[in-house]
Homo-oligomer: A and B are copies of this chain.
Amino acid sequence: MIIVTQPGATEKEIEAIIGVLTEHGFDIHRSTGVRHTVIGAIGVQPDFDHRQIELLPGVAEVVRITEPYKIASRAFRQEGTIIDVGNVKIGGDEVVIMAGPCSVESEKQIFTVAERVAKGGAKLLRGGAYKPRSSPYAFQGMGEEGLKLLRKAADAFKLCVITEVMDASQIRLVEKYTDVIQVGARNMQNYTFLKELGKASKPVMLKRGLSATIEEWLMSAEYILSGGNHNVMLCERGIRTFEPSTRNTMDIGAIPLVKKKSHLPVIADPSHGIGIRDKVIPMARASVAVGADGIIVEVHNDPDHAKSDGAQSLFPDQFDQMMKEVRLIAAAIGRSIA
- How far, in angstroms, from A221 to B83 measured CA to CA in the complex? 39
A133 CB contacts on chain B under 8 angstroms:
191
Q: Are A49's CB and B309's CB within 8 A? A: yes
- How far, in angstroms, from A318 to B304 measured CA to CA in the complex? 46
Chain A: interface secondary structure?
mixed
A255 CB contacts on chain B under 8 angstroms:
282
Q: What class of interface size applies to chain A in its complex with B?
A: 35 or more
A187 CB contacts on chain B under 8 angstroms:
190
Q: Does A111 contact B (CB under 8 A)?
A: no
Q: Does A338 contact B (CB under 8 A)?
A: no
Q: Are A20's CB and B51's CB within 8 A? A: no
- How far, in angstroms, from A65 to B59 measured CA to CA in the complex? 11
Shortest CB-to-CB span from A37 to chain B, Å, is 10
A156 CB contacts on chain B under 8 angstroms:
none
What residues make up the interface of A, taking CB atoms closer than 8 Å to B? 2, 4, 7, 20, 29-31, 33-36, 38, 40, 42, 44, 46-47, 49, 51-52, 54-55, 60-61, 63, 65, 68, 75, 132-139, 166-170, 186-195, 210-211, 213-216, 219-220, 222-223, 226-227, 239-246, 249-257, 260, 273-279, 282-283, 285-291, 303-304, 306-312, 325, 328-329, 331-333
25 CB contacts below 8 A, A to B, read A29-B33, A36-B42, A49-B308, A51-B310, A52-B311, A55-B278, A60-B65, A61-B63, A68-B135, A136-B219, A166-B191, A166-B192, A167-B168, A167-B193, A169-B192, A211-B240, A211-B242, A213-B243, A213-B245, A241-B251, A245-B257, A246-B253, A282-B289, A285-B290, A325-B332
